[in-house]
Amino acid sequence: MSFQLERTYGLRAQHWYQPETSLSDVAQNLFAASLPDGETQQFLDNSNKIASNFFWQTVRNLGVMILSTIYSKTDINGMTGFGNMFLFSENQFAKFLAIEKESWNSTDKKVLDLGAGNGDITEHMRPFFEHVYATELSSKMRNRLSWKGYNVLSALEWAETDVKFDLVTAFNLLDRHYSPGKLLNDLWNVARRSNCNVIVSLVLPVSHYVEFNPNGRSTRPDNYLNVAGRTYADHVHHMIVNVFKPANFEVLRWTRLPYLCEGDMNNSAYYLPDAIFLLKPIEPESPSSTITQETTSVSQESTSHASHTDL
Protein backbone atom coordinates (compact mmCIF):
# COMPACT_ATOMS: atom_id res chain seq x y z
CA MET A 1 0.00 0.00 0.00
CA SER A 2 2.96 2.35 0.48
CA PHE A 3 3.18 3.01 -3.26
CA GLN A 4 -0.08 4.93 -3.04
CA LEU A 5 1.61 7.52 -0.87
CA GLU A 6 3.76 8.51 -3.82
CA ARG A 7 0.62 10.15 -5.19
CA THR A 8 0.31 12.72 -2.41
CA TYR A 9 0.99 15.74 -4.60
CA GLY A 10 4.23 16.85 -2.99
CA LEU A 11 3.41 16.04 0.64
CA ARG A 12 6.15 14.31 2.63
CA ALA A 13 4.23 11.13 3.39
CA GLN A 14 7.15 8.98 4.56
CA HIS A 15 7.02 10.61 8.01
CA TRP A 16 3.26 10.58 8.45
CA TYR A 17 3.12 7.41 10.51
CA GLN A 18 6.52 7.37 12.25
CA PRO A 19 8.17 10.04 14.46
CA GLU A 20 11.13 11.73 12.78
CA THR A 21 13.35 11.48 15.88
CA SER A 22 13.93 8.84 18.56
CA LEU A 23 11.24 8.34 21.18
CA SER A 24 11.81 8.01 24.90
CA ASP A 25 11.52 4.48 26.30
CA VAL A 26 8.15 5.38 27.83
CA ALA A 27 6.73 6.62 24.53
CA GLN A 28 8.30 3.82 22.46
CA ASN A 29 6.81 1.09 24.65
CA LEU A 30 3.31 2.52 24.17
CA PHE A 31 3.60 3.25 20.44
CA ALA A 32 1.26 1.35 18.09
CA ALA A 33 2.17 2.09 14.49
CA SER A 34 -0.61 2.88 12.03
CA LEU A 35 -0.46 2.23 8.30
CA PRO A 36 -1.67 4.21 5.29
CA ASP A 37 -4.72 2.93 3.49
CA GLY A 38 -7.06 3.55 0.61
CA GLU A 39 -9.40 5.92 2.47
CA THR A 40 -6.51 8.27 3.20
CA GLN A 41 -5.48 8.25 -0.45
CA GLN A 42 -9.08 8.80 -1.54
CA PHE A 43 -9.30 11.92 0.60
CA LEU A 44 -6.09 13.22 -0.99
CA ASP A 45 -7.35 12.43 -4.49
CA ASN A 46 -10.65 14.24 -3.85
CA SER A 47 -8.80 17.17 -2.30
CA ASN A 48 -6.57 17.42 -5.37
CA LYS A 49 -9.62 17.58 -7.65
CA ILE A 50 -11.13 20.39 -5.58
CA ALA A 51 -7.86 22.30 -5.40
CA SER A 52 -7.35 21.98 -9.16
CA ASN A 53 -10.79 23.44 -9.99
CA PHE A 54 -9.93 27.07 -10.76
CA PHE A 55 -13.56 28.23 -10.98
CA TRP A 56 -14.50 26.64 -7.66
CA GLN A 57 -11.40 28.01 -5.92
CA THR A 58 -12.12 31.53 -7.23
CA VAL A 59 -15.70 31.39 -5.93
CA ARG A 60 -14.42 30.00 -2.63
CA ASN A 61 -11.83 32.75 -2.16
CA LEU A 62 -14.33 35.51 -2.92
CA GLY A 63 -16.86 33.97 -0.54
CA VAL A 64 -14.34 33.64 2.28
CA MET A 65 -13.14 37.21 1.75
CA ILE A 66 -16.67 38.58 2.07
CA LEU A 67 -17.81 36.36 4.94
CA SER A 68 -14.61 36.87 6.98
CA THR A 69 -15.66 40.43 7.71
CA ILE A 70 -18.49 39.04 9.83
CA TYR A 71 -17.79 35.41 10.74
CA SER A 72 -14.90 33.35 12.12
CA LYS A 73 -13.05 30.85 9.92
CA THR A 74 -14.80 27.96 11.67
CA ASP A 75 -18.26 29.50 11.14
CA ILE A 76 -17.45 30.09 7.47
CA ASN A 77 -16.44 26.47 7.00
CA GLY A 78 -19.65 25.43 8.76
CA MET A 79 -21.81 27.51 6.42
CA THR A 80 -20.03 26.70 3.18
CA GLY A 81 -18.67 23.19 3.67
CA PHE A 82 -15.10 24.35 3.03
CA GLY A 83 -12.08 22.97 4.83
CA ASN A 84 -13.07 19.32 5.22
CA MET A 85 -10.74 17.34 7.48
CA PHE A 86 -9.43 13.78 7.63
CA LEU A 87 -7.67 12.05 10.53
CA PHE A 88 -8.31 8.30 10.37
CA SER A 89 -10.16 5.79 8.26
CA GLU A 90 -12.73 3.35 9.56
CA ASN A 91 -10.16 0.56 9.49
CA GLN A 92 -7.47 2.62 11.22
CA PHE A 93 -9.94 3.52 13.97
CA ALA A 94 -10.93 -0.11 14.46
CA LYS A 95 -7.30 -1.22 14.62
CA PHE A 96 -6.40 1.44 17.16
CA LEU A 97 -9.23 0.35 19.46
CA ALA A 98 -8.60 -3.37 18.78
CA ILE A 99 -12.13 -3.76 17.41
CA GLU A 100 -12.97 -6.91 15.47
CA LYS A 101 -15.32 -5.48 12.86
CA GLU A 102 -16.89 -8.83 11.98
CA SER A 103 -18.06 -9.50 15.53
CA TRP A 104 -18.59 -5.94 16.76
CA ASN A 105 -22.16 -5.07 17.77
CA SER A 106 -22.93 -1.34 17.72
CA THR A 107 -26.40 -1.73 19.26
CA ASP A 108 -26.97 0.71 22.15
CA LYS A 109 -23.32 1.80 22.11
CA LYS A 110 -22.72 5.51 22.60
CA VAL A 111 -19.82 7.76 21.66
CA LEU A 112 -19.34 11.43 22.54
CA ASP A 113 -17.12 13.51 20.26
CA LEU A 114 -16.10 16.85 21.78
CA GLY A 115 -15.44 19.78 19.47
CA ALA A 116 -16.68 17.77 16.51
CA GLY A 117 -16.59 20.60 13.96
CA ASN A 118 -18.66 19.61 10.92
CA GLY A 119 -18.56 15.93 11.85
CA ASP A 120 -16.13 14.77 9.15
CA ILE A 121 -13.87 12.94 11.59
CA THR A 122 -16.82 11.83 13.72
CA GLU A 123 -18.37 10.12 10.71
CA HIS A 124 -15.63 7.48 10.63
CA MET A 125 -16.68 6.33 14.11
CA ARG A 126 -20.36 6.10 13.25
CA PRO A 127 -20.36 2.44 12.11
CA PHE A 128 -19.27 1.36 15.61
CA PHE A 129 -21.85 3.25 17.68
CA GLU A 130 -25.62 3.33 17.38
CA HIS A 131 -25.82 6.68 19.19
CA VAL A 132 -23.42 9.51 18.33
CA TYR A 133 -23.25 12.57 20.59
CA ALA A 134 -21.24 15.68 19.80
CA THR A 135 -20.41 19.15 21.08
CA GLU A 136 -19.31 22.24 19.18
CA LEU A 137 -19.06 25.94 20.11
CA SER A 138 -19.60 27.22 16.56
CA SER A 139 -23.34 27.65 15.94
CA LYS A 140 -22.88 27.07 12.20
CA MET A 141 -21.06 23.80 12.85
CA ARG A 142 -23.74 22.73 15.33
CA ASN A 143 -26.31 23.12 12.55
CA ARG A 144 -24.26 20.79 10.36
CA LEU A 145 -23.96 18.23 13.15
CA SER A 146 -27.71 18.27 13.74
CA TRP A 147 -28.32 17.91 10.01
CA LYS A 148 -26.12 14.81 10.00
CA GLY A 149 -28.25 13.27 12.75
CA TYR A 150 -25.90 13.64 15.72
CA ASN A 151 -27.20 14.32 19.23
CA VAL A 152 -25.71 17.75 19.93
CA LEU A 153 -24.95 18.53 23.59
CA SER A 154 -24.02 21.87 25.13
CA ALA A 155 -20.33 22.57 24.60
CA LEU A 156 -20.13 24.17 28.05
CA GLU A 157 -22.32 21.75 30.04
CA TRP A 158 -21.68 18.37 28.40
CA ALA A 159 -19.88 17.05 31.50
CA GLU A 160 -23.12 17.36 33.48
CA THR A 161 -25.08 14.95 31.29
CA ASP A 162 -26.46 11.76 32.81
CA VAL A 163 -25.72 9.77 29.65
CA LYS A 164 -23.12 7.03 30.07
CA PHE A 165 -20.85 6.57 27.08
CA ASP A 166 -18.80 3.70 25.68
CA LEU A 167 -16.14 6.11 24.41
CA VAL A 168 -15.40 9.83 24.70
CA THR A 169 -13.19 11.55 22.11
CA ALA A 170 -11.51 14.95 21.93
CA PHE A 171 -9.82 15.24 18.55
CA ASN A 172 -7.51 18.24 18.18
CA LEU A 173 -9.31 20.08 20.97
CA LEU A 174 -6.99 20.08 23.98
CA ASP A 175 -4.64 22.69 22.50
CA ARG A 176 -7.64 24.72 21.27
CA HIS A 177 -9.57 24.70 24.55
CA TYR A 178 -9.80 27.82 26.69
CA SER A 179 -8.93 25.73 29.78
CA PRO A 180 -7.03 22.49 29.09
CA GLY A 181 -6.96 21.63 32.80
CA LYS A 182 -10.75 21.87 33.04
CA LEU A 183 -11.19 19.78 29.90
CA LEU A 184 -8.96 17.02 31.26
CA ASN A 185 -10.78 17.07 34.58
CA ASP A 186 -14.20 16.90 32.86
CA LEU A 187 -12.98 14.07 30.63
CA TRP A 188 -11.80 12.12 33.66
CA ASN A 189 -15.08 12.60 35.54
CA VAL A 190 -17.27 11.56 32.61
CA ALA A 191 -15.05 8.61 31.65
CA ARG A 192 -14.89 7.37 35.23
CA ARG A 193 -18.66 7.68 35.63
CA SER A 194 -19.23 5.90 32.31
CA ASN A 195 -16.45 3.34 32.90
CA CYS A 196 -15.12 4.02 29.42
CA ASN A 197 -11.89 5.02 27.70
CA VAL A 198 -11.01 8.36 26.16
CA ILE A 199 -9.23 9.26 22.92
CA VAL A 200 -7.35 12.55 22.81
CA SER A 201 -5.48 13.76 19.75
CA LEU A 202 -3.49 16.92 19.13
CA VAL A 203 -0.93 18.33 16.77
CA LEU A 204 2.62 18.11 18.13
CA PRO A 205 4.69 20.01 19.06
CA VAL A 206 1.94 21.74 21.06
CA SER A 207 0.92 25.26 20.10
CA HIS A 208 -2.09 26.74 21.91
CA TYR A 209 -4.68 28.84 20.10
CA VAL A 210 -8.22 29.54 21.35
CA GLU A 211 -10.78 30.64 18.75
CA PHE A 212 -13.88 30.39 20.97
CA ASN A 213 -13.30 31.64 24.51
CA PRO A 214 -16.38 31.99 26.75
CA ASN A 215 -14.24 33.97 29.22
CA GLY A 216 -13.45 36.75 26.78
CA ARG A 217 -11.68 37.48 23.50
CA SER A 218 -8.22 36.15 24.36
CA THR A 219 -6.76 33.53 22.03
CA ARG A 220 -4.64 32.25 24.92
CA PRO A 221 -5.86 29.49 27.25
CA ASP A 222 -6.27 29.93 30.99
CA ASN A 223 -3.33 27.57 31.48
CA TYR A 224 -0.82 25.79 29.27
CA LEU A 225 -0.03 22.11 28.85
CA ASN A 226 3.12 21.13 30.75
CA VAL A 227 5.30 20.10 27.83
CA ALA A 228 8.92 20.91 27.05
CA GLY A 229 11.29 20.57 24.13
CA ARG A 230 10.75 21.42 20.49
CA THR A 231 10.23 18.11 18.72
CA TYR A 232 7.28 15.82 18.18
CA ALA A 233 8.98 13.08 20.22
CA ASP A 234 9.71 15.47 23.10
CA HIS A 235 6.09 16.48 23.38
CA VAL A 236 4.78 12.92 23.12
CA HIS A 237 6.87 12.02 26.16
CA HIS A 238 5.73 15.03 28.17
CA MET A 239 2.08 14.52 27.26
CA ILE A 240 2.28 11.00 28.69
CA VAL A 241 4.31 11.83 31.81
CA ASN A 242 3.50 15.47 32.64
CA VAL A 243 -0.05 15.89 31.34
CA PHE A 244 -2.05 12.66 31.24
CA LYS A 245 -0.55 10.99 34.33
CA PRO A 246 -1.19 13.97 36.66
CA ALA A 247 -4.70 14.17 35.18
CA ASN A 248 -5.27 10.58 36.40
CA PHE A 249 -5.16 8.92 33.00
CA GLU A 250 -3.18 5.84 32.04
CA VAL A 251 -2.02 5.89 28.42
CA LEU A 252 -2.89 2.48 26.98
CA ARG A 253 -1.28 3.21 23.61
CA TRP A 254 -0.75 6.00 21.12
CA THR A 255 -0.19 6.33 17.39
CA ARG A 256 0.79 8.91 14.82
CA LEU A 257 -1.52 9.91 11.96
CA PRO A 258 -1.59 12.73 9.42
CA TYR A 259 -4.15 15.44 10.19
CA LEU A 260 -5.25 16.42 6.68
CA CYS A 261 -7.27 19.35 5.36
CA GLU A 262 -8.61 20.03 1.88
CA GLY A 263 -6.32 22.18 -0.22
CA ASP A 264 -6.63 25.41 -2.18
CA MET A 265 -4.98 27.11 -5.16
CA ASN A 266 -1.59 26.90 -3.46
CA ASN A 267 -1.60 23.30 -2.21
CA SER A 268 -3.55 20.16 -3.02
CA ALA A 269 -3.90 19.39 0.69
CA TYR A 270 -2.51 20.47 4.03
CA TYR A 271 -0.91 18.23 6.63
CA LEU A 272 -0.03 18.46 10.33
CA PRO A 273 1.48 15.67 12.50
CA ASP A 274 -1.07 14.35 14.98
CA ALA A 275 -0.57 12.14 18.03
CA ILE A 276 -3.59 10.07 19.09
CA PHE A 277 -3.69 8.75 22.67
CA LEU A 278 -5.99 6.07 24.06
CA LEU A 279 -6.54 6.85 27.74
CA LYS A 280 -8.02 4.95 30.65
CA PRO A 281 -9.23 6.87 33.73
CA ILE A 282 -7.55 5.70 36.93
CA GLU A 283 -8.17 6.53 40.55
CA PRO A 284 -6.12 9.40 42.00
CA GLU A 285 -3.13 8.42 44.13
CA SER A 286 -4.76 10.32 47.00
CA PRO A 287 -8.35 11.49 47.56
CA SER A 288 -7.24 15.11 47.34
CA SER A 289 -5.33 14.65 44.08
CA THR A 290 -6.46 17.22 41.51
CA ILE A 291 -5.18 18.82 38.36
CA THR A 292 -3.28 21.91 39.46
CA GLN A 293 -2.15 25.03 37.65
CA GLU A 294 1.41 23.71 37.90
CA THR A 295 0.37 20.53 36.10
CA THR A 296 -0.84 22.40 33.04
CA SER A 297 1.41 25.45 33.03
CA VAL A 298 4.38 25.92 30.74
CA SER A 299 6.06 28.80 29.00
CA GLN A 300 5.06 29.33 25.37
CA GLU A 301 8.75 29.71 24.52
CA SER A 302 9.21 25.92 24.59
CA THR A 303 6.49 25.24 22.02
CA SER A 304 6.45 25.19 18.26
CA HIS A 305 4.51 27.70 16.17
CA ALA A 306 2.59 25.03 14.19
CA SER A 307 -1.14 25.24 14.76
CA HIS A 308 -4.54 24.33 13.33
CA THR A 309 -4.76 27.84 11.95
CA ASP A 310 -1.99 26.80 9.54
CA LEU A 311 -4.38 24.40 7.81
Query: Where do the domains of the chain lie, and which CATH numbers do they carry?
Result: 4-281 (3.40.50.150)
Using left for φ > 0, alpha for ψ between -120 and 50, and beta otherwise, residue 10 falls in left
Q: Give kind and range of the element (H or E) at residue 218.
A: none
Do the Cβ atoms of 261 and 83 come closer than 8 Å?
yes
Most confidently modeled of 7-21, 146-160, 205-219?
146-160
Three-state secondary structure call for residue 144: helix
Rounded Cα gap, residues 82 and 125, in angstroms: 21
pLDDT (tens digit per residue) in 56-66: 667 666 766 66
Q: Could you tell me which of 207, 300, 171, 191 has the C-alpha nearest to residue 247?
A: 191
Rounded Cα gap, residues 81 and 144, in angstroms: 9
pLDDT (tens digit per residue) in 12-50: 677 899 998 899 999 999 999 998 888 998 999 888 887
**Would you call the peptide bond into 205 cis, given omega within 30 degrees of 0 as the criterion?**
yes
pLDDT score recorded for residue 310? 35
pLDDT score recorded for residue 305? 34
Q: Could you tell me which of 175, 300, 134 has the C-alpha nearest to residue 143?
A: 134
Which of 104-108, 187-191, 275-279, 297-301 bottoms out in mean pLDDT, i.e. has the lowest? Answer: 297-301
Do the Cβ atoms of 112 and 165 come closer than 8 Å?
yes
pLDDT score recorded for residue 10? 65
**Higher pLDDT, residue 156 or 267:** 156
Strand ranges in the chain using DSSP code E only, listed in sequence order: 85-86, 110-114, 131-134, 151-152, 167-171, 197-203, 249-262, 269-281
Q: Kindly list the distances between the CA atom of residue 221 and the CA atoms of 93, 157, 175, in Å, as whole numbers in the listed order.
A: 29, 18, 8
